[in-house]
Structure 1
Amino acid sequence: MTRRHKTPLPVSRRSFLAGTGAVAAGVTFMPRSGLSAEEAKLNFYNWDTYIGPDTLSDFREATGIDVTMDLFADNDELFAKLKEGNPGYDVIVPTNDYVERMITAGMLEPLDHDKIPNMDNIEKSFLDANFDPGRKYSLPYMWGTIGIGYRKSEVDGVPDSWKWVYQSDKYAGRLSLLSEVTTVIGIAAKYLGYSLNTTDPKEIKEAEELLIAQKPYIKVFAEDNGQDLLASGEVALCQEWNGDILQVMAEDDDISYVVPKEGALLWQDCLCIPKDAPHPDNAHKFINFINDPAVNADIADFIQYATPNAAAKAMMSDDYTKNPAIFPPDAVLEKCEPAVYLGEKATRLYDEAWTRIQAA
């Protein structure tokens, strides 16, 4: 079955839409009788613009469960929010290295795979992970890269190197980097020829010094809104998640995205249930719903990230499945690295370097 490509939305993709549409055709979900005596509520902690416009209302229609969604800007904020105890969230969306960090810290509940039959739709290669062997604590949600979004009319060529944002004054005051500590410093290390996951104090220091030297030319370390700064014309280049740039590319032909030649971060966001979730049965039901092919395809098409759900991908158009900014060619992926949890000692080195960068 070939899924039709959606026509442009009448409002910005960057606006979250509290949709009230009917459940998509073909949606399968566990019967209400399978739920324990939980109140019909779910508290979801998610990235901004990282869900379909009707997903939450469709879930409510299908199950009777109301979803409250709060937003975080980056993994550091998510981790800090839950570090001292779960304030009441049922489902969270950490990135792979933070999944491992949270597992190590005892912050996640094991998943009951029997309650998530739709995990059979997930591509087999995603059903195991070094950061979570056997997928005991997480299931993949979306995956992708971090690269450079840019406005074609305002830059001289394609910014195919991290040098454009890490070691150049050409676009002074017109650059933004992300605000996540290990991502920004790790990519600086990769640009310098080291591993993105370096734990070597000398290499971390060299990356720190690079960023301090570049800081006068950086407009802002953006909290998950570099794409908005690019769309509004406040910056000409930004370090961002690929799907965020693709969302604004859909509205502006002057915007494009590139993975620099040095390689980049290859990431995977996951659905997890935090420790002491107040509605664990509803959380399993929500994760199962997200992995229904029709639901997952609608989400992926809207947010423009790569789905690990093989059944959903099979429903989608070539505009999505053959887009190299969503599914990069192997030659690009070979240069990319997934982030890994570096341990608390190395994490402190990164945090201390970040404090000095921010103070410079």
Structure 2
Amino acid sequence: MKQLSRVFLAIAIISAVLLYAVSRLNSSQGYSGAKTLTVYNWGDYIDSSLIKKFEKQTGIKVIYETFDSNEAMMTKIQQGGTAYDIAVPSEYMIDKMRKENLLLPLDHSKLPNLKNIDKRFMDLPFDPKNKYSIPYFWGTVGIVYNPKMLGNKKITSWDDLWDKDLHNQILLADSAREVIGMGLNSLNYSLNDTNKKHLQEAKRRLDSLTPNIKAIVGDESRMLLENQEASIGVVWSGVASEIMAENEDLQYVLPKEGTNLWFDNMVIPKTAKHISAAHKFINFMLDAKVAAKNAEYVNYSSPNKMALKYMPKATVNDKRFYPSPEMTDKLEVYKNLGQKNLAYYNELFLEFKMHRK
């Protein structure tokens, strides 16, 4: 019995030593509780060198995870399996998350660089007074096209996409809000319309576009447009900017009927365990030079007015990607439609995709 006790004691000592060693190793690598920050963001949506810079400045180790849709992000946070300290949802999802008590209020006194944000991107309806979110990037949904492939034809509206000469030329984003929204806009309806008659009309309108659609794709649109395998794409502004840098023949236009003006903001989910570190990270990303470097990497529009001073004039003066306040006032921000209405949008989008087969 004494021998068995000695065995158990030896095991306990060895276990304690191993636990201590692992703890020291984690600490040396920046993984100790107070020195770790878990960030949940869209894929390739930050300059990784900035993460390293933040780690060096603060001693806080950043664990970076990615998601590919607002819905996937919210589901993961609702489940609570991972204690995310920062997430970057879009405007309509921020509205939904705050109403479902999934976000922690921000302490603006810990965000002195907040003064750098352009006031026209603050205090928006999805988060009054920015109680829960801070602007990260913004942009539009529009049409990128290759005039040379179209015989120098100009695209100025959604309606232009129904031209019979564009057979098998168009790439659509694989996203219900964007595609159904395009159908609604082409009929001069709101992007946030929930009238089922209008939505059915938009779906029929989209069905009639089928002969002109080459594919409904995600990131593949970049390669297809760059390689001139398609002449037109309905894309987000940052995607357009990126592929235009690779192919100077391409143009980007905001359709005259209207389109989406979107915002991605930084939030602190209710799962957060390192709230002080989260505030430090947000404030770091609000630094003018940091925001400028990040914008040049990501290719989306920065809401940081001070950052624009450190960016190429050709970039910030390009009205396609930094449209005037007069233009942005004419665009629509997605609203939280509610689960029932969003499900109907998704149902119509699925029917539309099936109609093509």
Please classify the TM superposition score into its range, dividing by the shorter chain length: 0.7 to 0.9
Match of 1:178 in 2: 173
C-alpha change, 1:215 and 1:109, in structure 2 (3 Å) is farther
Structure 1 position 209, deviation (Å): 1.8
Letter in 1 for 2:264: D
Moved over 6 A (4+): none
**How far 1:216 sits from its partner (Å)?**
4.8
Tell me which residue corresponds to 1:295.
290
CA distance in 1, matches of 2:130, 2:215: 36
Partner in structure 2 of residue 77 of structure 1: 72
Query: Does residue 338 in structure 1 map to residue 333 in structure 2?
Result: yes
1:187-216 Cα distance to aligned partner (Å, 9 max, x none): 210111111110111111111222233235
**In structure 2, which of residues 109, 116, 123 is the aligned counterpart of residue 121 of structure 1?**
116
Asked if 2 retains the 8 angstrom alpha-carbon contact of 1:300 and 1:307, the reply is: yes
Structure 1 residue aligned with 2:17: none
Q: From the superposition, tell whether residues 329 and 155 of structure 1 become closer, same or farther in structure 2 (CA, over 3 Å).
A: farther
In terms of Rg, which structure is larger?
A: 2
* Residue in structure 2 matching 1:211, options 198, 206, 213: 206
Q: Tell me, in whole angstroms, the C-alpha distance in 2 between the residues paired with 1:102 and 1:226.
A: 30
Deviation at 1:305, TM superposition (A): 2.2
Distance 1:41 1:171, change over 3 A: farther
* Identical-pair percentage: 35
- Name the one with the larger helix percent: 2
Work out the number of aligned pairs and report it. 323
Partner SS for 1:141: strand
Cα deviation digits, residues 61-91 of structure 1 (max 9, x gap): 2122232333333334333443444534322
Distance in 2, Cα, partners of 1:243 & 1:103: 27
Q: Say which of 300, 304, 307 aligns to 1:305.
A: 300
> The residue matched to 2:97 in structure 1 has which SS?
helix
Deviation at 1:264, TM superposition (A): 1.0
Pick aligned residue for 2:92 from 91, 97, 100? 97
**Paired position in structure 2 for 1:14:** none
Equivalent residue, structure 2, for 1:159? 155
Conserved? CA contact 1:76–1:180, under 8 Å: no
**What displacement does 1:52 show?**
2.3
Alignment equivalent of 1:243, drawn from 227, 238, 242: 238
- 1:119 deviates by 1.1
CA distance, structure 2, for counterparts of residue 359 and residue 83 of structure 1:
31
Q: Provide the secondary structure at the position in 1 that maps to 2:166.
A: coil
CA 1:42–1:215: 2 relative to 1, 3 Å: farther
Match of 1:252 in 2: 247
- Answer whether contact 2:171 2:213 (CA < 8 A) is retained: yes
Shift of 1:330: 4.6
Q: CA deviation at 1:334?
A: 4.1
1:281 maps to amino acid: S
Contact 1:86 1:277 in 2 (8 A): no
Q: Post-superposition shift, 1:252? A: 2.0
**Counterpart amino acid of residue 202 in structure 1:** K
Deviation at 1:240, TM superposition (A): 0.9
Per the alignment, residue 276 of structure 2 pairs with 281
Q: Secondary structure in 2 aligned to 1:310?
A: coil
For the Cα contact (< 8 Å) 1:174–1:219, is it kept in 2?
yes
For residue 40 of structure 2, what is the amino acid of its counterpart?
A: Y
Aligned equivalents of 2:314, 2:324: Cα separation in 1: 15
